Structure 1
Amino acid sequence: MRIRHLTITAALLGTLCLPAHADEQVRDISRDTLAPNDGWASLGTGTTGGAAADDAHVYTVADRAGLVRALDGGSDTPKIIKIAGTVDANTDDAGRRLDCADYATDGYDLKKYLTAYDPRTWGADKPSGPQEEARQASAARQAERVVFPVGSNTTIVGLGSSAVLKGASLQVKGADNVIVRNVELRDAYDCFPVWQPNTGGLGDWKTAYDTLWLNGATHVWVDHVTASDQGHPDAGEPTCFARNYLRHDGLLDITNGSDLVTVSWSRFAAHDKAMLIGNGDNVTSDRGKLRVTLHHNEFDGVVQRAPRVRFGQVHLYDNRYVVPEDSLDYRYSIGVSTESRIYAENNAFHTPSHVEVADLVKSWNGTALHASGTLFNGYPVDLLTIHNAYNSGSERDLTDDVGWTPTLHGTVDSAAVADRAVARGAGAGRIR
């Protein structure tokens, strides 16, 4: 009887002593919707993603083929897509791993491409001819594999703490009501960058794929996402034509009249140009759009564009910025461009000694920035005043009046409180 008693006791303990956070592990988050007043994406009809999907349109996918079927060509049918484990975009229909050599066609060869368009002999004209045509054909073959159109009324959510979408470019084009949560978006690697001789004066390499691209999209909630170049950092790529041979574009770009977007509790890491909001100084049709809320996100090892904004009304609050000690190429965090109206409050910055407060903001044709409650290496700073004082010789002074005050938000914590919370809770696999 005593043995039986011990067995029953052990069984009860096994029931009562559950693993830490077991309730969160079993909680189904796939039908979660954006809370009222949680940023711009809550305005009007709000953002519900695929919450209305019937059981026939709830998918669990573990490979590229399953993801393609679930997305249904970007249809607007309400759908929930659960990512299980690692889904690799660079695979064939049988699941075999593909690399850049598998996509190359029509005689494309990088060495021949570099020889053909060497600025010392080719000059400043755009590449044309057999090698550029072969590059375009090769790029098209890769795009067929790695570009995934996301339609309206869609939720994409990672299962558990290890969901990864690798090598993919999720593109929300002209769609409404989309949620992307709890998934790691990793290494949208472009095998065939194009040389642009006239970019930036010296020329530069242009890549094709953002890990997540909102293109004319509305009512989008991005939450607890981790986005990075993990696997193929651009810093490890060679220098070609005296420029880094880039393989990645943005981590999250919000362009072409996208509107009503909330990005929360996400982590953007180890990348050059992380987030572009508004893609052109002359795209005046963006006026009144590009309304974006960024809160409780971490930008770790991001060189620039965290974010860079044109035209948009952007509420940037309770975010954490980390510039690693060895980040000698750091340029800026907040980019103030044409007609942007950024309301930044209670953000925390951690930088090494060679990065100063004045480096955190860069302006191109921008006129205003509201910045309050900023912490710089643990100390409160007046970001705007310091920016104007140190950059008045090279950039236009910015005023504090951005013409609006955010109202769609939850509690705005102090930068110190938010800094600790974001360090613990931002990124995929950390939904509580």
Structure 2
Amino acid sequence: MRLLPVSRTRMLHVALGIALLAAIGAPASADDTRDISRETLAADDGWAAAEGGTTGGAAADDAHVFTVRNRAELVRALDGGSATPKIIRIAGTIDANTDDEGRRLDCADYATDGYSLKKYLAAYDPRTWGSAKPSGPQEEARQASAARQAERVEIAVGANTTIVGLGDSAVLEGASLQIKDAGNVIIRNVELRDAYDCFPVWQPNTGGLGDWKSAYDNLWLRGARQVWIDHVTASDGDHPDAEEPTYFGRNYLHHDGLLDITNASDLVTVSWSRFADHDKAMLVGNSDSATGDRGKLRITLHHNEFESVVQRAPRVRFGQVHLYNNRYVVPDDAHDYRYSWGVGTESAIYAENNAFTTPGHVEAADLVKSWNGSALHQTGSLFNGFLVDLLAINNAYNSGSERDLTADVGWTPPLGAPIDSAVKADHDVARGAGAGRIR
């Protein structure tokens, strides 16, 4: 058969037709149709990849894939924290401080039994009340008011669940997501903002001078197992505690942690996330006496950004925590910075190639704080562009009341992707960490 030549005009028409099909919705490429809600943790991605890995709700059938746009839809999809495999896609901003009809609730809506801040301050002023724990009508009213808010903002996440934000603007505001005694959970690509406690409690004997204690973490893992947190942004939102007033000589704190991992939680990977504009960012292990945490709290933190965080990035008790390729930024106007790594009781932090940028009044010796810890393994730490040995610096400049830390933490990380230099990680994390930045 003789093939006829194809004219240049016909070739041009074919090319234009292909372009037109693309413009009006021809099938997209694989990259354009990526469905992150079905993705699971890679086999080598930190502690959450161990012992079977973390798949979240990837096995969910079509009846258990939800797109939610408000608190009521989110709560229904979570099904009371059931273990049924489920995928929950968050679209837009969901405000936890709303009633069942979607009406916005504020602190006045939760207050009950005659509670008022003015009365509370008058009742428990240390100059007249003393150092006893608050009790009586105003404390009882505070507790009742707090319980009403907790019913709205504490949201339970059950096993075999994936929560993922759609696009680059998924926000869960005012909520305290809680993974309690549940495993195999994935949370990705969502901003967790402003878990605001309307009713902080005064604790007269905390820290010697007393302190205000709030109830809610943006995300709290208690007895959780095999959890992957990825490309999450957590902050105080538009209500930073630094702008709150001072009562009884102490800052009136409305937020607790951004991410706390406690009560023998285990096998957790936190990656490519951003923790910002907060005091106590991340607590691993909640008590020196919680000996049930021994052998648990195995956690990997990599490619995360901690910016404008005062302390606990993280503070660790008992756990084997692998910190690598994280970015720490202390802003120039930060005068309340305390430390980044808290080396607590029986902790075993293995830190590699992390980068710190601080103003001149923050020294390398400020980055590590020992809280009855004994060991810290660190290599490749970058401080304002210079490689430093944070272990040696800590031991040289500790207060004298603290014992020197040793470099032997008793373990080496069994899982982990190739580790970048601190310089590369600093650059990549600045561009890629946080919600809305999955590529």
TM range (shorter): over 0.9
Q: Hey, what's the Cα distance between the residues in 2 that align with 1:296 and 1:12?
A: 39
Partner of 1:429: 436
Letter in 2 for 1:295: H
Match of 2:425 among 418, 421, 426: 418
Aligned to 2:98: 91
- Per the TM alignment, residue 37 of structure 1 is displaced from its structure 2 partner at its CA by 1.4
Q: Note closer, same or farther for the CA distance 1:381–1:10 as it changes in structure 2 (3 Å cut).
A: farther
Match of 2:6 in 1: none
1:418 counterpart letter in structure 2? A
Q: Structure 2 counterpart of 1:300, which letter?
A: E
Partner of 1:123: 130
Q: Distance in 2 between matches of 1:17 and 1:416?
A: 43
Cα displacement (A) at 1:26: 3.9
- TM-aligned CA distance change 1:10 to 1:377, over 3 Å: farther
Identify if the C-alpha distance between structure 1 residues 106 and 390 changes in structure 2 by more than 3 Å, giving closer, same or farther.
Answer: same
Q: Which residue of 1 aligns with 2:361?
A: 354
Separation in 2, partners of 1:28, 1:345? 32
- What are the superposed Cα offsets for residues 149-177 of structure 1, whole Å, 9 maximum, x if unpaired? 00000000000000000000000000010
1:315 aligns with 2:316: no
The Cα shift of 1:394 comes to 3.5
CA drift of 1:226 comes to 0.2
Structure-1 separation of matches of 2:29 and 2:176: 32
- How far apart, in 2, do the equivalents of 1:125 and 1:420 lie? 50
- Write out aligned runs for 1:322-333 (5 A): 322-333=329-340
What is residue 411 of structure 2 aligned with on the other side? 404
* Cα separation, 1, equivalents of 2:399 and 2:249: 31
Q: TM-score, normalised by structure 2?
A: 0.94
Say yes or no: does 1:28 pair with 2:21: no
Identical positions, percent: 77
| CA displacement 1:193-221 (0-9 Å, x = unmatched) | 00000000000001000000000000000
The structure 1 residue matched to 2:285, chosen from 271, 278, 281, is 278
> In the aligned structure 1, how far is the partner of 2:147 from the partner of 2:192?
21
The residue type equivalent to 2:299 in the other structure is V
Q: Structure 2 residue aligned with 1:137, among 131, 136, 144?
A: 144
Tell me the SS of whatever aligns to 1:30.
helix
Question: Which residue matches 2:68?
Answer: 61
1:10-409 equivalences in 2 (<5 Å)? 12=19, 15=22, 26-409=33-416
Q: CA deviation at 1:231?
A: 1.2
Structure 1 stretches of 4+ with a deviation exceeding 2 A read 8-11, 13-18, 21-26
CA distance in 1, matches of 2:399, 2:251: 30
The offset of 1:364, in angstroms, is 1.1
- Stretches of structure 1 that go unaligned for 5 or more consecutive residues are none
Q: TM-score, normalised by structure 1?
A: 0.96
Change (3 A) 1:349 1:24: farther
In structure 2, what is the Cα distance between the partners aligned to 1:325 and 1:178?
37
Please, what is the CA RMSD of the aligned residues?
A: 1.9
Instruction: Quote how far apart the aligned CAs of 1:114 are.
Output: 0.2
The letter for the 2-side match of 1:301 is S
Change over 3 Å in CA distance of 1:57–1:242 after alignment to 2: same
Q: Given residue 164 of structure 1, which amino acid in structure 2 is its aligned partner?
A: V
Contact 1:183 1:429 in 2 (8 A): yes
How far does residue 25 in structure 1 lie from its aligned partner after superposition?
Answer: 5.9
SS at match of 1:363: strand
How far did residue 284 of structure 1 move? 0.7
Tell me, in whole angstroms, the C-alpha distance in 1 between the residues paired with 2:311 and 2:18.
54
- Paired residues in the alignment total 427
Cα distance in 1 for partners of 2:148, 2:190 equals 26
